[in-house]
Amino acid sequence: MSVVCTRELSKYFRHTHAVEKLNLEIPEGSIFALVGPNGAGKTTTIKTLMNILRPSAGTAEVLGTNSRRLGPAEFAQIGYVSENQEMPLWMTVHYLMSWLRPFYPDWDNAWAEELLRQLDLPRDRRLAELSRGMRIKAALASSLAYHPKFIVLDEPFAGLDSLVRDELIEALLERCAGATIMISSHDLAEIETFSSHIGYIEGGSLRFCEEMSSLAARFREIEITFDEPPPLPTPWPAAWLEPSESAAVLRFVDSQFNADSTPEEIHRAFPSARAASIKPMPLRAIFVSLAKSARKAA
């Protein structure tokens, strides 16, 4: 079952197409990372899913309900934390938690207390007096204390130091086993460590959406060495991104790597190759090459 399912979801701001015909499915129990460069449409997508913004076209279902009809019953099962959320700054951390308690039938007092302790939140300090990282921790604690089925985190790590980031990720993974998590970020290093699914959005369009393991499996950095510079094959295969040539070495990224067929394809394209090295790529390198290719194509 999908926790989120969008069909041709679009959001326009006058002449700007912030999100364009987005088809997205987030399976239950997954940790879905929505990644992309700044201004790609991540936050707009999330705000549309959360019924903060109205879609211009298409539909979105969240927890089986049309996003336009999300109401108190659905929000009692959703935990939403955003980097730019306006919190009630006059409240103390303790008052925030006790204020929210009656809104949630599944509020777990013991767990709320433990979250405050684990995240090292000062109970009697007003949110206005907390640092940005502490405020996000407070928002996170107030969003986890009722065991939400669906946790949505919009750029929660932006501007946080690495210690706080690690604490947040740790709290999230330890405390939310079984929940579906959607996290948007452009900090790919963190995402890579714990996401199970990934969606890449750029210019408002979803470029791909797949399991992390299959993404890691299909991208390889290929380096071919020659005795003398070779002629490049024409047409250049569409799946081979970012070719760069220096002296007798050719480098590119294969976006459709297959352990059985790729070496053969390389040999066919470059019969004069002396050696070829095929290396797995970290997520960051994958996205950098994707972004560069998209920019070149544009």
Partner 1 sequence: MRQAWHIFLKDVRRLRYELIVVLALTAVYAWLQGHWSPLSSARTERLNVMAGLLRGFLLPMSWWYLASLAVYGEPLPGDRQFWVTRPYCRTSLLGAKLLFIVAFVSVPLLLADCFILTLQGFHPWVSPGGLLWHGLAVFAVLLLPMIALACITTSFAQAVLAVLAIIVSIIILETVLSPFGRGTMVGISVGSGWMASSLFCLVYIAAALAVTILQYSTRRTWAARAVFLAAVPLLLFGGRFLPRGSMWVTQSRLLESRTDTSSITAVFAPGGAHRQESRPRLIGPSA
Among 85, 162, 213, 214, binds partner 1 (CB under 8 A): 85
Other beta carbons within 10 angstroms of residue 140's beta carbon come to: 23
Among 87, 158, 273, 288, binds partner 1 (CB under 8 A): 87
State the sign of the Cα–Cα–Cα–Cα dihedral 108, 164, 184, 193: negative
Q: At what angle do helices 132-144 and 162-175 cross, to 10 degrees?
A: 0
Contact 200, 287 (CB under 8 A): yes
Residue 151 phi, psi (nearest 5): -110, 125
Q: Whole-angstrom Cα distance, residue 28 to residue 184? A: 17
By CB under 8 A, tell whether 90 contacts partner 1: yes
By CB under 8 A, tell whether 140 contacts partner 1: no
**Residue 81 or residue 168: which is nearer to partner 1 going by CB?**
81
Q: How many residues bind partner 1 (CB under 8 A)?
A: 25
Contact 181, 140 (CB under 8 A): no
**Residue 75 or residue 226: which is nearer to partner 1 going by CB?**
75
By CB under 8 A, tell whether 181 contacts partner 1: no
Nearest to 34 by CA among 175, 178, 152, 163: 152
Candidates 67-75, 184-192, 267-275, 277-285 — which segment interacts with partner 1 by CB under 8 A?
Answer: 67-75
Q: Whole-angstrom Cα distance, residue 88 to residue 104? A: 18
**Residue 18 or residue 250: which is nearer to partner 1 going by CB?**
18
**Residue 57 or residue 73: which is nearer to partner 1 going by CB?**
73
**Residue 68 or residue 284: which is nearer to partner 1 going by CB?**
68
By CB under 8 A, tell whether 13 contacts partner 1: no
Q: Whole-angstrom Cα distance, residue 70 to residue 64? A: 10
State the sign of the Cα–Cα–Cα–Cα dihedral 113, 119, 122, 127: negative
Q: Whole-angstrom Cα distance, residue 285 to residue 288? A: 5
Give, as ranges, the residues between 23 and 62 that touch partner 1 (CB under 8 A).
47, 50-53
Among 76, 217, 249, 291, binds partner 1 (CB under 8 A): 76
State the sign of the Cα–Cα–Cα–Cα dihedral 66, 70, 76, 81: positive
Q: Whole-angstrom Cα distance, residue 157 to residue 40? A: 17
By CB under 8 A, tell whether 73 contacts partner 1: yes
Closest CB 128 distance from partner 1, rounded Å: 13
**Residue 62 or residue 198: which is nearer to partner 1 going by CB?**
62
**Residue 90 or residue 208: which is nearer to partner 1 going by CB?**
90
By CB under 8 A, tell whether 109 contacts partner 1: no
Closest CB 171 distance from partner 1, rounded Å: 19
Give the residues lining the site for partner 1 (CB under 8 A).
47, 50-53, 71-73, 75-76, 78, 80, 82, 84-88, 90, 99-100, 102-104, 139
